Amino acid sequence: MKSNDHRKVMIEFQALEKTFRTSKGEVHAIEDLNIKIFDKEFVSVVGPSGCGKTTLLKITSGLLPRTAGGVAVNGSPVDGPAKQIGMVFQNPVLLKWRTVLDNILLPIEILKLPRRSYQEKAMELIKLVDLIGFENFLPSELSGGMQQRVSLCRALITDPPILLMDEPFGSLDALTRDDMNLELQRIWETKKKTVLFITHSIPEAVFLSDRVVVLSPRPSKVVLTVDVNFKRPREPSDKYEKEFGRLCTLLRSAIKK
Amino acid sequence: MDEKQTVKGLDTYTPIKGTKLAPFLTLVLFLVLWEVFVRAANIHPIVMPPPSVAFKYIAFNIPLLLDHAYTTMNEIILGFLLSVVVGLTLAIAMTHFSLLNRALYPLIVLSQVLPKVAFAPLLLLWLGYGILPKVVIAFTIAFFPIVINSLGGFTSVDPEMLDLFRVIQANRWQTFLKLRFKNALPQIFDGLKIAITLAVIGAVVAEFIGGDSGLGYLIIVSNSTLDTPLMFAALIILSLAGIILFGIIMLIERLSIPWSFRG
C-alpha cells in the first residue's frame, strides 16, 4: 500500500475476523483482513465466489456483527447501521407499490425529515441518472438498469459520505453494464463519495477504481492490492489499452479458485 | 397511470371480448338446464321446484325475505368485521413475538379443526338466543384464513428488503407499516375473500341451531314444513348476499392494491 497517510481514512478494517456458526459447524468467512480506504477513494473488492465479499460489506454497513478485530467508519467503530452510509444492493430492492420518486424518498420518510425540502433533491438525482420523466412510474414499468439507477438515487438522497455497493450491476446484461459503469463514474465524479464496490468482474473493477483489492478464498484475506492510475474520466476505449489488459491479467492470476 | 406509456410493454394484455359476460352466461345456462330438467322429468315442486317457481316465490315474498336477509347480513358482517380485527391483531402480534407465535399457532389450528356445529348449542346456552352467538360462530370460522394469510404475508418478506430497511435505520413499526403490511396486502385480501364466505356459512349454521329469524332459520322452517319453494327462495337470496359481499371485498382489493393487478 502506498503511503497515502496524509489523507483521511474513511473505512478501516483491522485484523477483521468473521466466523459463522452453522448446523454443520463453524465457517471462517474472513480472517485477519486489513484494508484502509481513504476519503473520496473508489475501491473495488474482487475475489472468488463465496469468499466473503458480501459478508465484508454487510459488516461495514452494520448489518452483521464482526467476530473479532476492528471496523471503523469515518473514525468511529461500527456497531450497527449508520446514517453516513448509503448502500446499493445486488438487486434494486424497490418497493413495487411506490413510484420512482417515492422509492427515492423512502429514507427521508424513515428518518422523518421534511419531504418537501428533499423532493427537489430527488429530482436533481433523477436528472443525474437520466430518468427525467419516469419519476411517477412504478418499478415494474422500468428496465433492470433503470431500476438499479433508482436504487442508486435512493442511496444518495441523504448525501452520505460513504457508498457501499454489492455487485450492483451483476444481474444486468453486458451492454447495460458498460453504460452503468460510465454513469457510475460520472456520478462519482460529481458527488465525490468514498466507494467500496464489490464485483465479480475484473474489467469493471479496473475501469471504476482507484484501487482494486483481491481477496483469497475462504477464509478471506487480502492477497493483492493494485493501484489503477489511468487518468479520469475514463473512456470505454481505455479497456483496450495495453496497461488495462496488464492490470486485468495481474488481478486474474491473483484470484484463486 | 394507465394512459402512461410503459417501458417494457407489460400492459399489452387485453381481455378477450365478452369475458365479462361469461359468468352471467354460465349462470343463465345453469338455470335453464335446471328448469328443463325439472319439467322434463316431471319432478314435484316439493322435491325440487324449477327456478321459475322459486323466483316467482321470491317476487311475491320480498318483504319477508328481505326482513330475514337483514338479520343474516347483520350477523355475517359483524362476525366478519370481528374476525378481521381479531385476526389482524393476532397476526401482527405473532409476527413480532415469536414466543407468542409458537404458543398460539397450535391453538388457532385447533380452533379451526374442531367442528363449530358441535359447540354451537353450548354457545347458545352461554350467550342466549339473540344475535351474539351467531356473530361469535361466524367469527370463529372466519378468522382462521385471515390469521394464516396475514401471518404468511407479514413474514414472507425478501430478506434483502429487510436489510434495506435496517440500513436506512427504520424501526420495527416503520418496517411493519411501510414494508411488511404493504407486502402482505395481496395475501390478506385472499384471506378476506375466504373469510367472508366462511362468515356466511357460520351465520347460517348458527341460525339452524338456535334462531328465530334469518335466512338460515327460514331454510330450517321451510324444510320442516316441506315448503321447498320457500327454501329455494331463501337459498337464492343467501347466494346473492354472499356473492355481493364477496364482490365488495374484490372491489376494495382492486382499489387498494392496484399495483398487484399490473404487469
Q: Which residues of A touch B165 (CB under 8 A)?
A: 110
Q: Which residues of A touch B254 (CB under 8 A)?
A: none
Closest chain B C-alpha to A150 CA, distance in angstroms: 14
The per-residue pLDDT for range A226-253, each reduced to its tens digit, is 999 888 888 888 888 888 899 999 999 9
Cβ pair A93:B160 closer than 8 A: yes
The per-residue pLDDT for range A173-227, each reduced to its tens digit, is 888 888 889 989 988 988 889 999 999 899 999 999 999 999 988 888 899 999 9
**Residue B22 belongs to a domain:** no
pLDDT averaged per 10 residues in sequence order, chain B, 263 residues: 45 60 88 92 88 90 93 96 96 93 90 82 83 92 94 94 95 95 95 96 90 91 90 92 95 90 60
**Residue B6 belongs to a domain:** no
Q: Which residues of B touch A109 (CB under 8 A)?
A: 178
- Inform me whether the pLDDT recorded for A2 exceeds 70: no
- Percent pLDDT > 70 in chain A is 98
The per-residue pLDDT for range A100-149, each reduced to its tens digit, is 999 999 999 999 999 999 999 999 999 988 899 999 999 999 999 999 99
Cβ pair B169:A83 closer than 8 A: yes
Kindly indicate the confidence band of residue A257, based on its pLDDT and cuts at 50, 70 and 90: low
Cβ pair A136:B4 closer than 8 A: yes
Q: Which residue of B has its CA nearest to A85?
A: B167
**Residue B13 belongs to a domain:** no
Q: Which residues of A touch B164 (CB under 8 A)?
A: 87, 89, 93
Cell of A222: 487480502
What is the domain-level CATH number for residue B109? 1.10.3720.10
Show the domain range for B180. Answer: 60-261
Q: Which residue of B has its CA nearest to A146?
A: B7
* Among the partner residues A95, A110, A142, nearest to B7 by beta-carbon distance: A142
pLDDT confidence of residue B6: 45
Report the distance separating Cα A95 and Cα A106, nearest Å: 9
Of A88, A63, A55, which is closest to residue A193 (Cα–Cα)?
A88
Q: Check: CB of residue B147 under 8 Å from CB of residue B153.
A: no
Q: How far is CA A225 from CA A30, A204, A205, B39, B101, in A?
A: 17, 16, 12, 91, 49
What angle, 0 to 180 degrees and rounded to 10, lies between the N-to-C axes of helices B228-256 and B51-60? 80
* Among the partner residues B8, B164, B165, nearest to A141 by beta-carbon distance: B8
pLDDT confidence of residue B3: 41
**Residue B12 belongs to a domain:** no
pLDDT confidence of residue B258: 86
Mean pLDDT of A59-76: 91
- Percent pLDDT > 90 in chain A is 59
Q: Check: CB of residue B218 under 8 Å from CB of residue B66.
A: no
Q: Which residues of B touch A152 (CB under 8 A)?
A: none
- Residue B219, Cβ density class (10 Å: 0-12 exposed, 13-18 middle, ≥19 buried): buried
Cβ pair A110:B8 closer than 8 A: no
pLDDT confidence of residue B141: 92
Cβ pair B166:A81 closer than 8 A: yes
pLDDT confidence of residue B121: 81
**Residue B20 belongs to a domain:** no
pLDDT confidence of residue B94: 94
Cβ pair A141:B7 closer than 8 A: yes
Q: Which of residues 170-229 of B touch A (CB under 8 A)?
A: 170, 174, 178-179, 182
The per-residue pLDDT for range B108-160, each reduced to its tens digit, is 898 888 887 788 788 888 888 789 999 999 999 999 999 999 999 999 999 99
Cβ pair B262:A140 closer than 8 A: yes
Report the distance separating Cα A248 and Cα A244, nearest Å: 6
> Is the minimum CB–CB distance between A93 and chain B shorter than 8 Å?
yes
**Residue B27 belongs to a domain:** no
> Is the minimum CB–CB distance between A123 and chain B shorter than 8 Å?
no
Q: What is the mean pLDDT of chain A?
A: 90
**Residue B100 belongs to a domain:** yes
DSSP string, B110-164: HHHHS-HHHHHHHHHHHH-SSHHHHHHHHHHHHHHHHHHHHHHHHH---HHHHHH
The per-residue pLDDT for range A11-57, each reduced to its tens digit, is 999 988 999 988 888 888 999 999 999 999 999 999 888 788 899 99
Cβ pair A111:B166 closer than 8 A: no
pLDDT confidence of residue A5: 62
Q: Check: CB of residue B221 under 8 Å from CB of residue B234.
A: no
pLDDT confidence of residue B263: 45
> Is the minimum CB–CB distance between A63 and chain B shorter than 8 Å?
yes
**Residue B15 belongs to a domain:** no
Cβ pair A89:B163 closer than 8 A: yes
| Counted domains in chain B | 1
